[in-house]
Chains A and B, each alone.
Chain A
Amino acid sequence: MAEVGTVNRLGFNRQEYTGSPSTLCNGCGHDSITNHIITALYEIGADPYTFAKMSGIGCSSKTPAYFLSKSHGFNAVHGRMPSVSTGAKLANHELTMLAVSGDGDTASIGIGQFCHLIRRNVRMIYVIENNGVYGLTKGQFSATADTGSKQKDGTINELETIDCCELAITLGCTFVARSFSGDKKQMVPLLKAAMSHDGTALLDVISPCVTFNDHEGSSKSYAHVRETDTPLHEIGYVPSYEETVADYAEGSETDIRFPDGSTIRLKKLDHDYNPKNKVEAVAMLEESRKKGILTTGLIFVDTARKDFNATLHMVDTPLIRLSDAELRPSRETLSRIVESYR
């Protein structure tokens, strides 16, 4: 919590970025993510009036009510948040789309829309609060449950797991990160970078469900995640309005610049990792799966690809601000069109 009286560059205190009180279970990972989102928004000095908070249905999808009370929010139907977000972004590209979904919402009922959103590269921040179960319907396995993970009643998941990050990379996602709800140090800079990214920025965040999936044998319990979390690098974020200073030893850090002028700085840990290499990224994820570890960090980034609005060759004026004269062709135009059907 920021001290009372402390404000960011817009003159807002942290409180301005919060929402209504959470109604989730005490200790739910989703609440930590809400906090990290608030912190990131506050620290970066985000303008709440430019945000649209999007979500589907689930415990996770309720969380947009718990941050950014000055921004419009949309709780869509289960699994269909991507299409609603796409439409809103096309209508008004000035909106910053900040979306929260669950693993059920994304990887089960919504996997089709998830894939197509990525394929289009709609500019938005897409956070999956991944707990491996359907929290809101009381703990059934989701499609991201790891093979061999145990449900509360002892049932073992024998199916393959869907790795949303790996899937996203193969679909051409331009910003793919994985994190843990308990790792504020990693998540906050990742969220800030996601806001700078011009395209779909995916953050798959393991977010334990204390009520239905936090027991012994669950691969998404706090204990298991803490034990297997293996960060790829240390992450720092330098916003566009601050200067980047090259103060590191050759080869120990990598800077990635975003079109808005901000930079994400990845500091090497045990071994080299290049987040610009798709093949390496997929190999790393496969390796992690084999070893049963949770590799976190910025897995893949590509700052060159066009976002969807650009692909559609749209005018700079948001569609919602076009004048009536720009929208309705003239009387003469109608006469000319009609004439061609004589």
Chain B
Amino acid sequence: MIEAVRRTVVNDMTIQVATVNGSGSQSANNILLKSFFRMGIPVGGKNLFPSNIQGLPTWYTIRVNHRGYVGRKAQLDFLVAMNPNTAKEDYHQVVPGGVIICDSEWTIDPADRRDDVAWYPVPFAQLCKDNVENAKLRRLLTNMIYVGVVAELLGIDNEILDAALRDQFASKAKVVESNRKMIELGKDFVRKNLAKKDPFRVEKMNANGNKILIDGNSASALGCVFGGCTVVAWYPITPSSSLPESVIDFLNQHRKDEATGKNRFAVVQAEDEIAALGMVIGAGWAGARAMTSTSGPGISLMSEFVGLGYFAEIPAVIFDVQRVGPSTGLPTRTAQGDVLKVVTLSHGDTKHVALFPGSVQECFEMGWRAFDLADRLQTPVFVLTDLDLGMNNWMADPFEYPDKPLDRGKVLDADAIKRLGKFERYRDVDGDAVGWRTLPGTRHPAAAYFTRGSGHNEKALYTERGDDYVHLMDRLARKHQTAAQLVPAPVESSDSGAQIGVIAYGSTDSPMAECRDQLREKGIRSSYLRIRAFPFTRAVRAFIEKFERIYVIEQNRDGQMLALLRIEYPELATRLRSVRHYDGLPIDARFMSDHVIEQEHSSKKELIHG
């Protein structure tokens, strides 16, 4: 029997499932996530997992929010405690008025017995023992009981839930049946034994239009496929691996010669990240579109080859799905800590092109555009995402088909050389600081040139002359200016009454709308600029010039984007302030707004007290 509740909270809650790694809870969590999504409620799911295959604690958080705030929220409303080892701590994460679901057989320390939350003890283990014969399956199926419990308590639509279940175990009728039975057990238990004591409910709404739900790595992978990438070389590393693995899946589905079944692509699992990038550089040099994907440790290893790509001017696309460093760091936690490293990677003077997708749509779009940019600019192009964006599921508008054909950049074939009468690899004939190149195998006596990472002149001949070197380095600097005309411009969301500016990039975008609303509630109005690429475009400077105080919000310790902005715009440096989040969890709106407010207050005090 369900008791009437005084207050109801509809479509606004953060649910956390605390489980153990390797226990198969991912399917259960996906079913819940999909169900909310298909009920038309904005939703975001985040997996917090350890660097371990089996046995260590993991948490899955689902944020349901009718206003569309789906970034991380630190406060938990609804806990499903399935891991006795973390339960003690988990119980205390829940906000007063929240919910705790746990196994009724657990003994709970009186100190942890919170009386300000609704407890729902469920005999998970017992229900499983009584209903599942196969001991091996028990653990997996226990998860489905909590799906049923949560669905019943919150009022998830039955049909939608069942469809999500069927999709999860696509076509495996037997599996669907056994899982469905467990969901029913959970629901039935709630109906017969629990009185609803909490205010949380979900109701169908229509906020999701024709959106899709996808992780950033799959989106980036699709970008690579639609960008015409043919050579993939990679070395496994969390949180990058699922990106090349998805590329491989998509290529196998969509890039085979139908007649012969043969591959119109090559994938190599390289011996390390050095070799992975070496293969990409070799393929790019020969004229193919090639990519690799890695995370911080791999980026460090790629350093020397990136310098070669920059100096010898060879296209390459490198995805960096960032995780917490330095060194092995926190391999399964998120960060934006590679920004400064990546844009100047390698020894000597280098400046690289980097794209910062802020959503899964942009993972797709910048994914394919990166190949055009690399070919057009003849240089390595980085796409920087992070664990949060890459490995978690996000809502997105359907991806738009590329709006232009592949841009293969400046390549001369034998006929073109015949027409032109000569060819000099590194001469800036068009004034954009990008020379024309030929591909090995071009059948013309003037086509060949020697590619080297040592000093070279416009004819690609070896030189150690100072003037040749300066000439080359200055042209590369000009090429960086050309890049600024081609990379995606920043996105501005302005408020005519804004007192401050806010700058962010990448996944820090997700809680930004919520953060700015929180600031507004405190009387602080802001305009927001989301940087999408390095080199910065003119709009970045223009934005900074508009405000006395601009907060650069990012997920690393040292304020790397802040530093980069200060390097690029030294005369504007004092306007820039910094909010930095770096505990490995995705940044949340409250953290951002609290820090901005605090700094705003202290600057007021400074004004008053001189």
Residues of chain A at the chain B interface (Cβ within 8 Å): 49-52, 64-65, 69-77, 80, 82-92, 94-95, 112-113, 115-116, 120, 309, 312-317, 319-320, 322, 324, 326-329, 331, 333-335, 337-338, 341-342
Q: Which listed segment binds A: B277-285, B319-327, B570-578?
A: B277-285
Most B CB contacts (10 A, CB to CB) among A70, A74, A324, A331 go to A74
Check A72 against B449 for contact (C-beta < 8 Å): yes
Given contacts A73-B451, A95-B441, contact A319 B230 (CB under 8 A): yes
Asked if B117 is at the interface (CB within 8 A of a chain A CB), the reply is no
Known: A90-B288, A329-B226. 5 other contacts (CB 8 A): A51-B440, A77-B304, A83-B270, A91-B283, A338-B212
Check A49 against B399 for contact (C-beta < 8 Å): no
3 nearest A-B residue pairs (beta carbon): A87-B282, A83-B278, A91-B288
Nearest chain B residue, comparing its CB with the CB of A113: B275
A325 to chain B, nearest CB (A): 10
Given contacts A50-B441, A72-B449, A95-B441, contact A87 B233 (CB under 8 A): yes
Q: Which listed segment binds A: B62-70, B253-261, B467-475, B479-487?
A: B253-261
Q: Which residues of A contact B305 (CB under 8 A)?
A: 77, 80
Check A73 against B406 for contact (C-beta < 8 Å): no
The answer for the CA separation of A327 and B290 in the assembled complex, in Å, is 12
B286 to chain A, nearest CB (A): 4
Check A322 against B280 for contact (C-beta < 8 Å): no
Q: Which residues of A contact B255 (CB under 8 A)?
A: 326-327, 329
Q: Which residues of A contact B254 (CB under 8 A)?
A: 329, 333, 337
The answer for the CA separation of A94 and B272 in the assembled complex, in Å, is 26
B574 to chain A, nearest CB (A): 41
Given contacts A113-B271, A312-B263, A342-B212, contact A69 B231 (CB under 8 A): no
A98 to chain B, nearest CB (A): 11
Contact residue among A49, A120, A326, A341 (Cβ-Cβ distance under 8 Å from B441): A49
Contact residue among A82, A92, A113 (Cβ-Cβ distance under 8 Å from B287): A92
Q: Which residues of B contact A116 (CB under 8 A)?
A: 270-271, 275
Which B181-214 residues have C-beta < 8 A from chain A? 210, 212-214
Q: Which residues of B contact A84 (CB under 8 A)?
A: 278-279, 281-282, 285
Check A91 against B287 for contact (C-beta < 8 Å): yes
The answer for the CA separation of A66 and B587 in the assembled complex, in Å, is 57
B247 to chain A, nearest CB (A): 13
Q: Which residues of B contact A312 (CB under 8 A)?
A: 263, 266-268
Check B279 against A86 for contact (C-beta < 8 Å): yes
Residues of chain B at the chain A interface (Cβ within 8 Å): 38, 210, 212-214, 222, 225-228, 230-231, 233, 250, 254-255, 257, 260-268, 270-272, 274-290, 304-305, 308, 398-399, 401-402, 405-406, 438-445, 447-454, 462
Check A92 against B453 for contact (C-beta < 8 Å): no
Check A322 against B264 for contact (C-beta < 8 Å): yes
The answer for the CA separation of A65 and B461 in the assembled complex, in Å, is 10
Check A71 against B440 for contact (C-beta < 8 Å): yes
Q: Which residues of A contact B267 (CB under 8 A)?
A: 312
Given contacts A87-B233, A312-B267, A329-B225, contact A65 B284 (CB under 8 A): no
Given contacts A69-B448, A90-B268, contact A49 B443 (CB under 8 A): yes
Q: Which residues of A contact B438 (CB under 8 A)?
A: 72
Contact residue among A52, A112, A329 (Cβ-Cβ distance under 8 Å from B275): A112
A301 to chain B, nearest CB (A): 25
The answer for the CA separation of A184 and B441 in the assembled complex, in Å, is 28
A342 to chain B, nearest CB (A): 6
The answer for the CA separation of A152 and B266 in the assembled complex, in Å, is 47
Nearest chain A residue, comparing its CB with the CB of B270: A83
A140 to chain B, nearest CB (A): 20
Nearest chain A residue, comparing its CB with the CB of B288: A91
Contact residue among B227, B233, B287, B445 (Cβ-Cβ distance under 8 Å from A70): B445
Q: Mind listing 22 A-B residue pairs with CB under 8 Å? A: A70-B445, A70-B447, A71-B440, A72-B449, A75-B453, A76-B278, A76-B282, A77-B304, A77-B305, A77-B453, A83-B233, A86-B278, A88-B283, A90-B231, A112-B275, A116-B275, A312-B268, A319-B264, A320-B286, A328-B226, A329-B255, A341-B214
Check A73 against B304 for contact (C-beta < 8 Å): no
The answer for the CA separation of A141 and B250 in the assembled complex, in Å, is 48
Check B266 against A73 for contact (C-beta < 8 Å): no
A142 to chain B, nearest CB (A): 20
Nearest chain B residue, comparing its CB with the CB of A115: B271
Check B448 against A324 for contact (C-beta < 8 Å): no
Check A338 against B288 for contact (C-beta < 8 Å): no
Q: Which residues of A contact B454 (CB under 8 A)?
A: 75
Q: Which residues of B contact A113 (CB under 8 A)?
A: 271, 274-275, 278
The answer for the CA separation of A278 and B254 in the assembled complex, in Å, is 42
Contact residue among B210, B272, B284, B451 (Cβ-Cβ distance under 8 Å from A87): B284
B460 to chain A, nearest CB (A): 9
Q: Which residues of A contact B308 (CB under 8 A)?
A: 76-77
Given contacts A73-B450, A77-B305, A341-B214, contact A90 B279 (CB under 8 A): yes
Nearest chain A residue, comparing its CB with the CB of B261: A313
Given contacts A70-B448, A75-B451, A319-B230, contact A52 B278 (CB under 8 A): no
Check A91 against B448 for contact (C-beta < 8 Å): no
Check A328 against B228 for contact (C-beta < 8 Å): yes
Check A324 against B262 for contact (C-beta < 8 Å): no
B229 to chain A, nearest CB (A): 8
The answer for the CA separation of A327 and B250 in the assembled complex, in Å, is 12
The answer for the CA separation of A113 and B213 in the assembled complex, in Å, is 40
The answer for the CA separation of A77 and B278 in the assembled complex, in Å, is 9
The answer for the CA separation of A111 and B566 in the assembled complex, in Å, is 43
Q: Which residues of A contact B276 (CB under 8 A)?
A: 83
Nearest chain A residue, comparing its CB with the CB of B215: A341
Check A88 against B286 for contact (C-beta < 8 Å): yes
A180 to chain B, nearest CB (A): 28
Check B279 against A83 for contact (C-beta < 8 Å): yes
B300 to chain A, nearest CB (A): 15
B29 to chain A, nearest CB (A): 16
Q: Which residues of A contact B283 (CB under 8 A)?
A: 87-88, 90-91, 319
Q: Which residues of A contact B231 (CB under 8 A)?
A: 87, 90-91, 319
Q: Which residues of B contact A329 (CB under 8 A)?
A: 225-226, 254-255
A16 to chain B, nearest CB (A): 9
The answer for the CA separation of A326 and B399 in the assembled complex, in Å, is 20
Check B442 against A49 for contact (C-beta < 8 Å): yes
Check B233 against A338 for contact (C-beta < 8 Å): no
Check A341 against B452 for contact (C-beta < 8 Å): no
Q: Which residues of B contact A314 (CB under 8 A)?
A: 262-266
Check A83 against B399 for contact (C-beta < 8 Å): no
Check B440 against A52 for contact (C-beta < 8 Å): yes
Q: Which residues of B contact A309 (CB under 8 A)?
A: 266
Contact residue among A71, A95, A112, A342 (Cβ-Cβ distance under 8 Å from B271): A112
The answer for the CA separation of A324 and B406 in the assembled complex, in Å, is 7
Q: Which residues of B contact A92 (CB under 8 A)?
A: 286-288, 439-441
Nearest chain A residue, comparing its CB with the CB of B368: A328
Check A83 against B275 for contact (C-beta < 8 Å): yes
A17 to chain B, nearest CB (A): 13
Given contacts A49-B442, A77-B304, A312-B263, contact A65 B450 (CB under 8 A): yes
Q: Which residues of A contact B274 (CB under 8 A)?
A: 80, 83, 113
The answer for the CA separation of A335 and B308 in the assembled complex, in Å, is 39
Nearest chain A residue, comparing its CB with the CB of B406: A324
Nearest chain A residue, comparing its CB with the CB of B265: A319
Check A87 against B212 for contact (C-beta < 8 Å): no
Given contacts A72-B448, A319-B231, contact A326 B287 (CB under 8 A): no
Check B286 against A52 for contact (C-beta < 8 Å): yes
B374 to chain A, nearest CB (A): 14
